Every structure is written in structure tokens, then in C-alpha cells.
Amino acid sequence: MDGVRATLELADWRRRIADLYAEVRRTAAADPRAAWDLWRAAREALFREHPQSPVPLEQRSGFRAGHFDYDPRWRLDARLAPDPEAPDPHADDGPVPATPLALPVSAGGTMSFTRIGWVELPSPAGSARLAVYWLAGYAGGLFLPFRDGTNGGETYGAGRYLLDAAKAADLGGEPRNGTLILDFNFAYHPSCAFDARWACPLAPPENRLAFRVEAGERLA
């Protein structure tokens, strides 16, 4: 029974996260700062109270989330450019599936993703680009992890996530224009940042930014 209960609690956690991001997208259309306030408060409550919180049980009651101050300059409407290394799906010899990439996992081993393209970042700290991935497993999902100059100090040493659509962390976009909303004020830590018992895919070297991203969730 305990295993069934834990599974249903995990399903409830994911349901609540999906509902939260749906409300974030609706609210951000008119007021991104209000959406961020909503996101912070709801996540902190879940981390403190939900049985599937990644925070160790003995630390939950006093848990308080840390964040950099909200900075509207870190909200970007970014165009996703195709990966120039990907095979041409319209080649004469027929579609060729892209080769999955093996991204490192915090607990050891790798997880398969496909790089689907790149986004350019005209950020407050300088220009750069990040790869956007698609989970190779069942149902897939967008995935955008990154590392930056705050890692190992204010933020988790192995980086943070911006998008993880397989778990409903999706800020929206416009398919017809080929764009994604990338708001680094919503950057958050993977579960393994709170407890090593969780296994999380991590940002590869190509998604390491040379500058500091002073936006989003912080640990110190």
C-alpha cells in the first residue's frame, strides 16, 4: 500500500506543477511579475508541505525558497534555430533520425535526449546561445538545462533548469513563429540540489554560460 500511495502522491505533485505552470502562462501574458510571484509562493508551499517534496523531511517545516530579485530584462522571446548538425529530414534518401545525445545524470550514468536546436540569448550579461533538447523517452518533452557563473556559490554547482516540459515546466511560445518564452526569473534547481537521493539530468558543456545569470532560484 505504501508504494501505491507514494506513486499517487507523485502523480499529484506533477498534477499540481502542471496546474501551476498553466496559471503562470495565463498570468504572464498580462503581468510577468505577478506570474513570478505566484510561481514562487506556490513552489515554496509545495516544497514545504507536499509528501513528494525533494527537500528532506526534517528540513521541510522551515523551508524558505531563495530567489534573485525579479529582473524583466531576463524575459526573452527567443527563436529556436534548427540544429545545423541534425540530419536533413527531407534528404533524397528519406528521413534520418537524429542521433540521441547522452546527457549526464547526477546519480551516475546518462539519459538520452535529442538536440533540436539553439536559442540565441541577447541577455543583460552578454550574448550567448543555449541548446534546447527533446527527451528521447516516451512522450518526450522540451528540456533546457544551463550552467552559469553563479553555480557553486549562490546556485547549485551542477546548474539549473529553465524548461522541463516532461514535468510541465513550460513557459510557452509561439509555434508558428518558431519561438519559445525563456524567462530566467523562473530558473529553478533540479531535485538533486536538495537531496542526493534524486537522480537528475544535468547541463552538458555546450550549455555552460560564461557569465552570471542573476535571476531565478538561488540557494544562498
Nearest residue to 152 via CA among 206, 193, 207: 193
Q: Are 48 and 15 in contact (CB under 8 A)?
A: no
Identity (one letter) of the amino acid at 72? P
What DSSP character marks residue 150? T
- Taking the CB of residue 57, how many other CB atoms lie within 10 A of it? 9
pTM reported for the whole predicted model: 0.91
Contact of 99 with 162, CB cutoff 8 Å: no
Residues 130 and 143: beta-carbon distance below 8 Å: no
Cα torsion angle, 67, 189, 143, 15, sign = negative
Q: What is the pLDDT of residues 180-212, one digit of tens each?
A: 999 999 999 999 999 999 999 999 999 999 999
pLDDT band, very low/low/confident/very high, at 91 (cuts 50, 70, 90)? very low
For residue 95, the model assigns a pLDDT of 42
| pLDDT > 90? residue 10 | yes
Ramachandran category for residue 109: left, alpha or beta (phi over 0 → left; psi -120 to 50 → alpha) = left
Chain center to CA of 71: 18
Residue 96 pLDDT? 42
Q: How confident is the model over 124-167, as pLDDT tens digits?
A: 877 899 999 999 888 889 999 999 999 999 999 999 999 999 99
- For residue range 115-126, list pLDDT tens digits in order: 999 999 988 877
Residue 84: pLDDT band by 50, 70, 90 thresholds? confident
Q: Scanning the structure block, which residue is given the C-alpha cell 527527451?
A: 135
